[in-house]
Every structure is written in structure tokens, then in C-alpha cells.
Copies of this chain bind each other. A is one copy, B any other.
Amino acid sequence: MIINNKIDPEFRYKKMLTKIRESGGRITSHRLALIRLLAASEGHPNATQLYEALRRQFPTISLATIYKTLALLKDEGEVLEIDLHNDSHYDGNKPYSHPHLICTHCNRIFDGDIISGIQNLNQEIEEKCNFQVSRHQLVFYGLCEECQQKVS
């Protein structure tokens, strides 16, 4: 199921379609294409980036359509929303809380779910703060490997 730190997009694709059908939603050509993109969520796109990518194939598609389907999939727990500075990005490949690394030079968003010790953090918070953690959003800003050389 997991290929190279990424869940098999085909699996995610089918899973999302099933979830939409089960909740009484309908499958349209636009949704198929959007869910295809979200299944991989290459680069953790935001709504506008998804819109631009889909517009090539579907020139009449509307931004509202993107937002509506994203809201639907968020409610179903099939898409993770990443809240950045006045800008929401989406991950339909791994729709559960996990860390992200954002390069402040090239602005790319990387997955950081190789990092262990998150579970320890949750536990420490419950113990020290008496706070019951249900989800988290962990974002680390800095320089990715490529940009470290470009900048120096």
C-alpha cells in the first residue's frame, strides 16, 4: 500500500470515489479528474493550483466546484487541509495529521512523516498539560537540501 513514503494513488483514488458514493454524492467528470489529482496530491496543491491544472483539460471548470468537492472530501476525512499564511493547501494522499517541511526559498512543501517522536509529543502534552490531543498541524520552515547549496 505504501510506495516510497507515499500511499498508492490508485488506492486513494478508489477510496475517495467509494466514500463519495457512500455518502450519496455523485461522480462527475470534473470530480473524477480532481480526485485523480488529489489521490497523488503532488506538491500539496492549493485550490487555485488544482484549478489551473484542471483548466487545461476542462476549460469551463469553476473554482467553486473545486472548493465544494474539497469541502466534501474534508468532511469525509479523505483530504487533509494544511492551513498556511492566508493559504490552504491540501493532501488527499495522506489525509491524516503528519508533519510538513516547507522550504522558505523554493516554497515547496515536503512530507515529514519519517519523523518519529511525534507520538511521544502527544503523550507528553497529555501528561504535562492535561490536554487531550486529537489532531495536530506541525510545520517546519527552513531550507531544503537543494536550496541550502543555492543560497550559500
Query: What is the minimal beta-carbon distance from A38 to any residue of chain B, in angstroms?
Result: 19
B142 touches A134 (CB 8 A): yes
How many copies of this chain does the complex contain? 2
Give the size of the chain A interface in residues (CB under 8 angstroms).
Answer: 39
**A130 interface residue per 8 A CB criterion:** yes
Smallest Cβ distance from A70 to chain B, in angstroms?
A: 13
A140 CB contact (under 8 Å) in B101, B103, B116, B136: B136
Partner of A143, one of B121, B134, B140, B144: B134
A126 to nearest B CB, angstroms?
A: 9
User: Which A residues are within 8 Å of any B CB, using their own CB?
Assistant: 81, 83-86, 88, 101, 103-104, 110, 112, 114-117, 120-122, 124-125, 128-145, 148
